[in-house]
Amino acid sequence: MHSSPPDQNFLSHPKGLASWLFTLDHKRIGIMYLILICLAFGLGGFFALSIRLELMRSGEQFMDQDTYNKFFTLHGAVMVFLFIIPSIPATLGNFCLPLMLGAKDVAFPRLNLASWYVYVIGAAFTLFSVVTGAVDTGWTFYSPYSTQSSTSVISMTFGVFILGFSSIFTGLNFVVTIHKMRAPGMTWYQMPLFVWGTYATSVIQVLATPVLGITLLLLILEKTLGIGIFNPEMGGDPVLFQHFFWFYSHPAVYIMILPGMAIISELIAVHSHKKIFGYKLIAYSSVAIALLGFLVWGHHMFVSGQSEFSSMVFSFITFFIGIPTGIKIFNWMTTLYKGQICLTTPMLYALAFLILFTIGGLTGIFLGALGLDIHLHDTYFVVAHFHYVMMGGTVIAFLGGIHHWWPKIFGKMYSEFWGRIAFVFIFLGFNMTFFNQFMLGSQGMPRRYHDYSGLYKTDLFERYHGFSSYGAMVLGVGFLIIATYLIASLFNGKAASNNPWGGLTFEWATSSPPPTENFREEPIFKHGPYDYDKVLPENI
């Protein structure tokens, strides 16, 4: 086995832009994804802040209705398809998965690079629609409006269609990597839980994304050739679009949240230095969520005109999702019990995740209840719920994961002081923005409204909306602080040791940053990923 000299790592060698653009190294591809995904998050955040400023007061503030429709569509589409779906798997997953398995790379490095380029092309098509008049359908592209809207729906849906391939490539690659590339001696039940979560995610990516692909293709055909299958005038059925869309997009919610849960399992075990409680149950519950998630899509369609029988079945199955999710939450809490908890920045995010995701998950159960959903459907209650899950869950976990693996990725420590300050901004800002939206929604404020003057509770709505907008600003400041100190750490951060947190998984056994071939000597599996009761890492 040839190994690179001790002063060389995957970042420093080889040099030059071309060596990055044509790299087959999963670590570099992960970083290239990270850059694009942060840009996408910034763009989506810009749209979000614009929306919040518009809604700060009743009446039109600074954008007209059409612009507003385009902004919330772009916010949703950019955040969902360009940011959150690829976020954790393509960045941290790409970086950590082979390291955690003790492998030299993912199973198909070329396919991995291809997925990055496909992402770039898909993003180009999606954003091209902004130049050509944007899209005003909402990120869900519901027919029949999307087939009639004169905005550039085709460009955006085609972009999303292409992005789907990128997602499939990543998922397929990871499934094969996990099956075939584990270090000698590592069995399925000795894999870190991050790997289990990524595995469940990848399975969904492979199984669900093709259905979105064919749906969007048919939508494009409907718009170009008028094939009529979504058009009631021609004997078609627009509700079928919703079925097809949500057959992908509900499981896609788990593409977003399962990797978040995967990160939390790592953070909680490592930063409380305790063997994870209920390893197998956490692992199985990821797979259970992935599979159950395929059977509940109709809970988005209770008021669409879908049959009552369907609605009842979907509502019933939806409640079952609470079981594996609850199992995870309780196992994490039990892991914390009597652990040596260090309140590092990653751990703060992990604890925030437990609170915020529990709120998001429980309100999801409310919305899955058939009768209640009729009242809350398309109100800000739904907006608050999915932001608690997507942002309070996935984004918070992503932030925790970034801080956790930052020393490993770049070999530098970030400022723990600024990390905690920023965490306070994020946590407070997030709750200020979204908690009152639960109230707003249950009081009857519909989502996607440009102007709420003239509604019968305008004064009340204005108070909630105004507060929410201030919260969004606090949140924005939090993200700016994070970006500043993370980037600053690259230049003046102190060098990270190989294992700053005392982790027991393989990635902490190699140098920080790792050499191009990941491990200078082939790693041999000696102890479980969370055997804090048996092994003590050298430096804690």
Partner 1 sequence: MDTHDHHHHALPLSMYIGVGATLFILTGVTVVSAQIDLGSTANLILAMSIATLKASLVALFFMHLLYDSKLYAFIFSVGLFMLTAFIVITMFDTMRRDGIYDHRAVKIQQEAGFYKDIHEAAAAEAAAVEAAGDGEHDAPAPAAH
Partner 2 sequence: MEQVVAIAGEEHHRGHPALAHHFHDMEQQHESIKLGVWLFLVTEVLLFGGLFCFYAIYRAWNPEMFTQAHQLLDVKLGAINTLVLIFSSVTAALAIRSIQLDRPKQTAMFLVVTLLCAATFLVIKYFEYSHKIHAHILPGELFAYTHLEGVANPHIFFSIYFAMTGLHGLHVVGGMVFLGFVLIRTLQGTYSSEYYIPVEMGGLYWHLVDLIWIYLFPLLYLVG
Residues that bind partner 2 (CB under 8 A): 103-105, 107-109, 111, 168, 172-173, 175-176, 179-181, 184-185, 206-211, 213-215, 218, 221-222, 225-229, 234-237, 240, 244
Selected from 49, 239, 287, 370, the binder of partner 1 by CB under 8 A is 239
CA distance 441 to 460: 12
179 binds partner 1 (CB under 8 A): yes
Contacts 24+ apart (CB under 8 A), 64-70: 64/450, 65/450, 65/451, 66/136, 68/450, 69/136, 69/448, 69/450, 70/134, 70/135, 70/136, 70/151
Listed ranges 16-24, 249-257, 284-292, 328-336: which one lies at the site for Cu ion (CB under 5 A)? 249-257
CB of 229 to partner 1, least distance (A): 12
Find the binder of Cu ion among 250, 377, 403, 465 (CB under 5 A): 250
SS3 sequence of 36-66: HHHHHHHHHHHHHHHHHHHCCCCCCCCCCHH
| Per-residue x/- track, 79-98, partner 1 (CB under 8 A) | --------------------
Closest CA to 205 of 304, 69, 90, 59: 90
Residue closer to Cu ion (CB basis): 256 or 329: 256
228 binds, among partner 1, Cu ion, partner 2, none (CB under 5 to 8 A by kind): partner 2
Contact 98, 515 (CB under 8 A): no
Regarding 185 and contact with partner 1 (CB under 8 A), the answer is no
Question: Which lies closer to partner 1 via its Cβ, residue 237 or residue 531?
Answer: 237
Closest by CA position to 345, among listed 286, 399, 289: 399
Nearer to Cu ion, 353 or 386 (CB): 386
Rank residues 283 and 440 by Cβ distance to partner 1 and give the closer one: 283
Query: Interface with partner 1 includes 240 (CB under 8 A)?
Result: yes
In whole angstroms, the minimum distance from the beta carbon of 396 to Cu ion comes to 20
Cβ atoms 365, 322 nearer than 8 A: yes
- Cα distance between residue 506 and residue 427, in whole Å: 31
Q: Is 298 or 346 the residue whose CB approaches partner 1 more closely?
A: 298
> Is-cis flag, bond preceding 14, omega within 30?
yes
Choose among partner 1, Cu ion, partner 2, none what residue 250 binds, the Cβ cut-off being 5 to 8 Å by kind. Cu ion
The residue (of 175 and 263) whose beta carbon lies closer to partner 2 is: 175
Is the CB of 203 or the CB of 402 nearer to partner 1? 203
Given a contact cutoff of 8 angstroms between Cβ atoms, the answer to whether 204 and 252 are in contact is yes
What is the closest distance, in whole angstroms, from the C-beta atom of residue 377 to partner 1 in the complex? 17
Nearest to 241 by CA among 201, 167, 300: 300
Say how far apart CA 51 and CA 34 lie, in whole Å: 25
> Could you tell which of partner 1, Cu ion, partner 2, none binds residue 295, using a CB distance below 5 to 8 A set by kind?
partner 1
Binding partner at 185 among Cu ion, partner 1, partner 2, none, C-beta below 5 to 8 Å by kind: partner 2
Q: Residue 17: count other Cβ atoms within 10 Å of its Cβ.
A: 7
Which neighbouring-strand residues pair with 446? 379
Nearer to partner 2, 109 or 466 (CB): 109
**Touching partner 1, residues 289-308 (CB under 8 A):** 294-295, 298, 301, 305-308
Q: Which two tokens stand for residue 108?
A: 């198909």
Binding track, positions 302-341, relative to partner 1; x by CB under 8 A: ---xxxxxx--x----------------------------
Question: Per-residue x/- mask for partner 1, residues 197 to 236, rule CB under 8 A?
Answer: ----------x---x-------------------------
Q: Nearer to Cu ion by C-beta: 364 or 411?
A: 364
| Cα–Cα distance for residue pair 253/281, rounded to 1 Å | 21
Q: State the number of CA atoms in the 13 A half-sphere of 210 facing the CB.
A: 6
Minimum distance from CB of 185 to partner 2 (Å)?
7
**279: nearest Cα among 205, 345, 195, 403:** 195
Cβ-proximal residues to 397 (8 Å cutoff; 6+ apart), any chain: 88, 259, 260, 261, 263, 264, 267, 349, 350, 353
Q: Select the span of 74-82, 123-131, 245-253, 465-473 touching Cu ion (CB under 5 A).
A: 245-253
Residue from 46, 61, 109, 237 binding partner 1 (CB under 8 A): 237
Q: Output 172 or 327, the one with its CB closest to partner 2.
A: 172
With CB under 5 to 8 Å by kind, the binding choice for 305 among partner 2, Cu ion, partner 1, none is partner 1
* Complex with partner 2: residue 40 or 175, whichever CB lies closer: 175
CA distances in angstroms from 286 to 53, 56, 134, 289, listed in the order given:
38, 39, 37, 5
CB of 376 to partner 1, least distance (A): 19
Rg (C-alpha) for the chain, rounded Å, is: 23
Residues touching partner 1, count (CB under 8 A): 19
User: CA–CA separation, 86 vs 35, rounded Å?
Assistant: 12
Residues making contact with Cu ion (CB under 5 A): 250
